[in-house]
Chains A and B, each alone.
Chain A
Amino acid sequence: MVHDTLPPTAADPPTTRPQARGALARGQAALHTKPLLGPLIVLLLASLFFSVWVGSRFSDPLNISLIVQQVQIIGMVGIAQTLIVLTAGIDLSVGAITVLASVVMGKLAVDHGLPVPLALLLGVVIGGVCGGLNGVLVTRFRIPPFIATLGTLSVFSALTLFYSRSETIRAQDVPPLLSWPGRSINVLGTDVTYSSLMMIGCFAAVAYLLRGTAWGAHLHAVGDNREGARLSGIRTGRVLLSVYVVAGLICGLAAWFLIGRIGSVSPQAGENLNLQSITAVVIGGTSLFGGRGHVLGTLLGSLIVGVFSSGLALSGVDALWQVFTVGVLVIVAVAADQWIRKVAA
């Protein structure tokens, strides 16, 4: 796809570049070698700005905890999206998979009376199956990921509505274990939900998988240059399929968090998750052209959106400005990505 037009060495560190000419060029080079630096700087500056503008209400531990809670579903789904984007793909169905998995968990446990752990497990498995279906469409049938997941987005959404009959299971009827991720413990004087901690754990686990295992190396290779990866002996089809299955399983886990967050099981939840997850990935500095980026960038990306959303709300700014700001952030992030790429051009 797009990366075919780039030389195979496009993402290599600029070791052969002449000495940096001034601070700007040095900054550009630093941002290129350390993809987390950009989003980290934005997150710190935004937090500082709102701490000054809004005051202590923004920076108090309770609000920080709330921001993390509010971005945890986007963050989880964002992990799945990052994996797909790193393979130079895109997954438009992550939100639909998450909602389908949550409805399966709720219906099995509440309406069909299955033991809750089994219902939970089956929900996560359904997520993996949906991801696997995407993977088969992309690898076996060679349908571009955008098209394949555009199709499955509608398929999964319709299945959700058929299965749930569009009806919500009320919070009071949901068994405690299903909403367990929404419960909180006291960490350093602030209530932190289990799902916030689990989300951070998931980010750490996937970051390790990507950086410390052969699977991660293969995934990056496939995303950077699929043909090159194939020629060097990587079974690209199998790697891609596994990436889609893992992304689906993560969405299944996100479904559990979603139930914990909203208490009830609603087929109408998470309707914006697809676009929000892409937003988090892009703001987090992962390149939509594949191969370059970091899953922890997605955590920073979703926190940046959360900080802006919370900061603007607390200062009483009209909600439309939140939408506006997120749009500007996306454009700036992609422009920055293009600028940083020039270092290696």
Chain B
Amino acid sequence: MADRVMPRHRALAALSAGIGLTLLLTSCGSGLSGHGDDKTIVGLVTKTNDNPFYVKMREGAQKKARQLGVDLRTFAGKGQADNDSQVKAIENLVAAGAKGILITPADSGAIIPAIDRARKAGVMVVALDSPTEPASAVDATFATDNRLAGRMIGKWAKARMAGKRPRVALLDLSSEQVKVDVLRDQGFLEGFGVDVRNPNRIGDERDSRIVGHEVTGANEEGGRDAMEKLLQKDGSINLVYTINEPTAAGAYQAVKAAGKQKDITIVSVDGGCPGVKNVAGGVIGATSMQFPVKMAADGLAAVAAHTKDGGKGSGSSGQGFTNTGVSLITDTPVSGLDSQKSDWGLRHCWG
């Protein structure tokens, strides 16, 4: 029996050592934050850790935080729709005494109660990248106008397809009608001149030019699978809308395998450096560039200004939507539509 008791002692010892260590670490942690008590704590909560868009946004925020002398704490969810992790991140930041929180909401509606609690606790909350629903739930929003981003590539595509009979494939993010997915998809169709019926719903259009919608998970693999399925459904596709540039790169692999790269035009949204290089290389016809680093930097500056004002909102706060801009990047400009060439895009792309 003795040999059975021993492990229990060991387990107890390990447990108490663990608890001791945790206490030590937490006290160190609070000691550290106490040490830097003159620094304002600001949180950045992104949707994921792995998407380059959010990685660049985080890097931009860290750079700006160093300039402003702000203690930036970053958190991320585990997926495009992981509300739970974001709620926890907000709660932890409020508990840590943060003065401001920048968040890219994964679920623009479900996050509201957590944001309300934070604001009641005196924290300034700023939405980045996508607005909350309602937008007035936060103090300010710095985001791409995603509907506009979609409209720009839609208008460009319309001009490019003039004189041809368009056969359109749409490669979306998911079946869940995620806000940013809806805005870009419907914006594209509006720009292209399709009656979108319900502008807040993907896939309810009745337009013979549309071959079909497929979901991709917004990555290369999904883009390739979806494009193959749609090409198999209708080989006469000549225009492809993609939710983002990785999807476009995957779709291009399917197009190339089918030997149709001369006949098919691909448009996209994002403005990541690999995507802009694909514009330069003729893989993507046009893309709408967003500016995540600017979103983060402007959002952080707004929070810093707000805290200096002593709680009074500065000009940039106060429930406003600040459009951080969209630029159309293409090497084949069309008349009547402002655009930038890919060399400009390469100087301004984000990762």
Residues in chain A within 8 A of chain B (CB atoms):
57, 62-63, 66, 69-70, 73, 157, 161, 165-168, 170-172, 182, 184, 191, 258, 261-264, 266-272, 309-310, 313-314, 316, 318-320, 323
User: Looking at the complex, which one of A168, A172, A261 makes contact with B281 (CB distance below 8 Å)?
Assistant: A172
Q: Can you list 19 A-B pairs, Cβ within 8 angstroms, ordered by A?
A: A166-B51, A168-B52, A168-B246, A184-B257, A262-B224, A262-B249, A263-B224, A263-B249, A263-B252, A264-B249, A266-B220, A267-B50, A271-B217, A272-B217, A313-B214, A314-B233, A318-B175, A318-B203, A319-B175
* Interface residues as binary, B46-65 with A (CB distance below 8 Å gives 1, 0 otherwise): 00011110010000000000
> Is the beta-carbon distance between B278 and A313 smaller than 8 angstroms?
no
In the assembled complex, the Cα of A155 lies from the Cα of B285 at a distance in Å of 38
In chain B, what residue has the closest Cβ to A183? B257
Tell whether, in the assembled complex, residue A66 and residue B253 are in contact, meaning their CB atoms are under 8 Å apart.
no
Task: Please report which residues of chain B, range 173-213, place their CB below 8 angstroms from some CB of chain A when the two chains form the complex.
Answer: 175, 203, 212-213
Nearest Cβ distance between residue A153 and chain B, in whole angstroms? 12
A301 to B110, CA, bound (A): 37
- Contact, CB under 8 Å: B274 / A263: no
Q: Does A271 contact B219, Cβ atoms closer than 8 Å?
A: yes
Q: In the bound complex, do residue B253 and residue A263 qualify as a contact, i.e. CB atoms below 8 Å apart?
A: yes
Chain A's nearest CB lies how many Å from the CB of B261? Answer: 12
Asked whether any CB of chain A lies closer than 8 Å to the CB of B167, the reply is no
B133 at the binding interface (Cβ < 8 Å)? no
Contact A70 B225 (CB under 8 A): yes
In the complex the two chains form, is A166's CB within 8 Å of B246's CB? no
How big is chain B's contact interface, by range? 20 to 34
| Chain A contact surface mostly | helix
Indicate if B228 sits at the interface (CB-CB under 8 A).
Answer: yes
A318 to B233, CA, bound (A): 14
4 tightest A-B CB contacts, nearest first: A262-B220, A313-B229, A320-B175, A166-B55
A69-B249 Cα distance, complex, nearest whole Å? 17
In the assembled complex, the Cα of A148 lies from the Cα of B283 at a distance in Å of 42
B331 in the interface (beta carbon within 8 A): no
A66-B228, A184-B257, A263-B253 known; A316+B215 contact, CB < 8 A:
no
Query: Are A167 and B351 closer than 8 Å at their CB atoms?
Result: yes
What is the minimal beta-carbon distance from A117 to any residue of chain B, in angstroms?
A: 23
A166, B50: Cβ atoms closer than 8 Å: yes
With A and B bound together, what is the CA distance between A191 and B50 in angstroms? 35
**Do B219 and A268 touch across chains, with their CB atoms under 8 A apart?**
yes
B11 to chain A, nearest CB (A): 15
Of all chain B residues, which has the CB nearest A165? B55
B277/A62 in contact, CB under 8 A: no
A62 touches B232 (CB 8 A): yes
Q: Give min CB distance, B237 to chain A, whole Å.
A: 14
Task: Tell me which of A69, A171, A268, A272 contacts B50 (CB under 8 A).
Answer: A268
Question: Are A319 and B215 neighbours in the complex by a CB distance under 8 Å?
Answer: yes
* Chain A minimum-CB-distance residue to B230: A313
CB neighbours of A313 from chain B (8 A): 214, 229-230, 233
B221 beta carbon closer than 8 Å to chain A: yes
Complex Cα distance A57/B230, Å? 12
The residue in chain B whose Cβ has the minimal distance to the Cβ of A268 is B219
**Bound Cα distance from A266 to B281, whole angstroms:** 19
Task: Contacts A263-B253, A314-B232, A316-B212 given; indicate if A269 touches B220 (C-beta within 8 A).
Answer: yes
Contact A171 B253 (CB under 8 A): yes
Is B250 interfacial (CB 8 A cutoff)? yes
Taking A264-B220, A268-B246, A313-B233 as contacts, is the C-beta distance between A166 and B52 under 8 angstroms?
yes
Bound Cα distance A73, B50 (Å) = 21
Residue of B nearest to A191 (CB): B257
Instruction: Provide the residues of chain B in CB contact with A267, threshold 8 Å.
Output: 50
Nearest B residue to A170, CB-CB: B274
For the complex formed, measure the closest distance between the CB of B46 and the CB atoms of chain A, giving whole angstroms.
Answer: 12
A168 to B51, CA, bound (A): 10
Most buried by A among B49, B203, B246, B278: B246
Cross-chain contact B232 with A323 (CB below 8 angstroms) = no
Q: CA–CA, A70 to B227, complex, Å? A: 11
Q: Are B51 and A268 in contact (CB under 8 A)?
A: yes
Q: A268 contacts which chain B residues (CB < 8 A)? A: 50-51, 219, 246
Residues on the A chain within 8 Å of B214, using CB? 313, 319
Q: Judging by beta carbons under 8 Å apart, are A57 and B220 in contact?
A: no
